Structure 1
Amino acid sequence: MIVTVTPNPALDITYTLAELRPHASHRVDTVHEQAGGKGANVARVLQALGRRTAAVLPLGGASGAAVKADLDRAGLSSLTIPLAGGVTRRTVAAVDRDDATMLNEPGPELSGPEWGALVAGVRSLLPTAQALVLSGSLPRGVRPEAYGELVRLARAQGVPVVLDAAGPALTEALGSGPAVIKPNAAELRDATGIDDPPAAARELAKAGARTVVASLGPDGLLAVTPAGTWRAFLSPAAAIRGNPTGAGDAAVAALAMGLADRTPLPQALNHAVALSAATVHAPYAGMFDRRAYERYLTQVQILPA
C-alpha cells in the first residue's frame, strides 16, 4: 500500500471554456468538481494504475463533505481528520484550449490537536505501507518543520518517503532524509537562490535529500542521485496542449510506485515522464490518457547529465 498525505486538501472546481481573456466576462462550457490537493491527485493516479492506496487528509465544512463524498464515489480509501471549525478550501482551474489558469484559496488553520490526529493517522498506516507521499502546502497553524516529523516517523519504520513541497515546508524537512523530493524549476531556485537546475538540485541533495527529481516542464525531469545525474524527456519533443494541472502529481505517483517496488530509478523516471505527459491530455487532475501513456513510454529518452 502507498499512503498519501494531503495536509491542505481542496475541492477542485474546473471550468472549461473556449478562451480565457483577462478583465472579461466568460461563458463556461462545463463545470466539474472533485476531491483535490496534490496527495489526492497522486492517490487517484495510483488507483488507476491498480495500486492500493490510502489517502490521509483533514476535512471540514460543506466543501470537506463534498471532497469525502467524491473520494468514496471514486472508491479511494481515505482516513479523514475532522476539523472542528475550519472549512476545506476550494481551487478553481479555468481551462481553455491552450492552458489552465489556477485560483487557489489559502485553506483553513489547523489546531495542534488536529495536526496531532493527522500524525497519529499516518502512524497507524505505516506498518502496512510500502511508501509514503507527502504532498502540497502545509495548512496555516502548522509549523514549517511538520513534514520533517512525518519523514522521521516513516524512516523509523523503514518506509521511504516522496516529498513534494515548496518553501520552508521543503527546506525544513531535508535534514530528515526523504528518499525523493520533487521540486519544479521555480521551487529549486526559490529554495537555493541558484538559477542552474543541476547545481540547485545538488545543493538540495547535500542538505539531506537522497534523490532530487526536478520537473523542468517541457524539458522533462532532472534526477540527481548519489549514483549519478540523469535527464529524462520525450523524444521527439512534443508540444502537448491541454490541462497541465496534476502533471507533477502523476510524476510523483510514478516515483512512489518505483520506491514501493524498488524499481531502478531510470525505469521509474520513464514512467514519471510518460505519466506526466499523458495527464495533460486528460480533462482533470489525477487522471491520464492511458493510450498516450503507453505511447509515451516508448518515447522517453534517459541520458546521463
Structure 2
Amino acid sequence: MNPGAAVRGGILTVTLNAALDVTYHVPALTPGAAHRVSRVDERAGGKGVNVARLLHTLGAPVVATGLAGGAGGARIRSLLAEEGVPEAFVPIEAESRRTLVVAEPDSATGFWEPGPAVTRQEWHAFRTRFTDLVRGAAAVVLSGSLPVGVPVDAYHALITAARRDSVWTVLDSSGEALRHGLSAGPDLVKPNVDELADLLGCPPPRPATALQAVRTLDAPAVVASFGPDGLLAVTGEGAWRAYVPEPVAGNPTGAGDACVAALTSGLVRQRPWPERLAEAVALSAAAVRAPVAGSVDLSDYRRLRRDVIVKEI
C-alpha cells in the first residue's frame, strides 16, 4: 500500500510483536491427558491486530502496522488480506511468533511464544514507515509486548513522533514498555488490573479502592479494566465505573483489545465519556462470548450495550 494513504483521517494500530493465533477447541482441558480437538481456528493476532480487526468490524477506517517475519509473518499478512483489513507491516528476517489458546466452553488457557529478535536496521525501517503512516491519521493505538531487539522505550519514541503530528495516542502494554510509554504522555492508557498494580507498586486493587491511586498516573485519561468487574475511568472530565450486572462466561482472550477498539473509536468520534465506556464494556463482553480473540458478534454487542451500567464517581 502507499504509506499513509489508507490511514489518513483514520486509526493506525501498531503491533510490534505480531503473532499467528491458533485456537484449539476442546470440551474440557485436563492437565496430563490427551485431548481430541473439535475445531482449530487460525487468525492473524497480536493485540494491535485484534484492535484493527475489531475496528474494521465496526466500520472504522483503520490500518494495521508492525513487524512480521518468516512464513508466520507472511501468513499473518495473508489472513488480514482475506479479512479485508488494510495492513502495512514492515518485514523482518526472524520468524513471527505463534500463540496457542486451548478454549473450553466457559474458559481458555493461553500459551504465548516470546517472539522474534529484531535487528537495529529493522527497527530503524519501522520507525521510518511509522513516520509516514502516522502523518494525517486521527489516532494511533500502540499495543502489546516488545520483541527482543526493540528498545524498551519504543512506545515513548512512537508516542512522541505521533504527538508532533497532533495525532491522538492510545497505549495498551505492560511492564517497562508501558512505564516508558506512559512518560511520553499518551492521551489514553488502558492497563488491566495486574498492569495497574505493577505501575502503582501495590497488590491488585479492586475498582472501589483504586480511584485515588489511578489519579496519580500521569496521563490525561486512564481506563483500567478489572475483568468481570468492568472498567474504572479517570479523565480530565470526571471519573466513572462501567460494568454489566451479570458476569459473561467464555473466552476472555482479546476482551482488552475490544475495549481499546471501542475507546479509540469513541475518542476519534469525540463521544461523551459515559457513551465511550458503555460501548467499551459491551464490546469487551461480546468478545468474551466470541469463540476466538479479535472477533465479536455485533448482535451480541448491541444486546449487551443495553445492559451496561455507567456510574459517575
* TM above 0.5: yes
Q: Hey, which bits of structure 1, 4+ residues long, moved more than 6 A? A: none
| Identity of matched residues, % | 46
Structure 1 residue 245 displacement after superposition: 1.1
| Residue identity matched to 1:189 | A
Is 1:218 aligned with 2:224?
A: no
Query: Which residue in 1 is equivalent to 2:39?
Result: 30
Alignment of 1:203-214 (within 5 A): 203=213, 205-214=215-224
Query: Which residue in 2 is equivalent to 1:115?
Result: 123
Match of residue 228, structure 1, among 238, 242, 259: 238
Q: 1:111 to 1:284 in 2, by over 3 A?
A: same
| Residue identity matched to 2:16 | P
Match of residue 160, structure 2, among 152, 159, 165: 152
Distance 2:259 2:182 in 1: 20
How many residues are paired up?
302
| Residue identity matched to 1:15 | Y
Is 1:57 aligned with 2:66?
A: yes
Structure 1 residue 122 displacement after superposition: 1.6
Match of residue 47, structure 1, among 56, 67, 76: 56
Distance 2:98 2:21 in 1: 6
Output the aligned Cα RMSD: 1.4
Match of residue 283, structure 2, among 275, 287, 290: 275
Query: Which residue in 1 is equivalent to 2:92?
Result: 83
| Residue identity matched to 2:240 | W
Q: TM-score, normalised by structure 1?
A: 0.95
| Residue identity matched to 2:70 | G
| Residue identity matched to 1:92 | L
SS in 1 for 2:135: helix
Structure 1 residue 226 displacement after superposition: 2.5
Unaligned runs of 5+ in 2: 1-9
Unaligned runs of 5+ in 1: none
Query: Which residue in 2 is equivalent to 1:6?
Result: 15
1:138–1:169 Cα contact (<8 Å) kept = yes
1:188–1:201 Cα contact (<8 Å) kept = no
| Residue identity matched to 1:61 | G
2:19–2:98 Cα contact (<8 Å) kept = yes
| Residue identity matched to 1:175 | S
Which deviates further from its counterpart, 199-208 or 166-175?
199-208
Query: Which residue in 1 is equivalent to 2:4?
Result: none
Q: 1:11 to 1:168 in 2, by over 3 A?
A: same
Structure 1 residue 190 displacement after superposition: 1.3
Distance 1:257 1:158 in 2: 17
Q: TM-score, normalised by structure 2?
A: 0.93
Which deviates further from its counterpart, 11-20 or 219-228?
219-228
| Residue identity matched to 2:182 | L
Query: Which residue in 2 is equivalent to 1:252?
Result: 260
1:175–1:207 Cα contact (<8 Å) kept = no
Query: Which residue in 1 is equivalent to 2:5?
Result: none
1:188–1:197 Cα contact (<8 Å) kept = no
Distance 1:49 1:263 in 2: 15
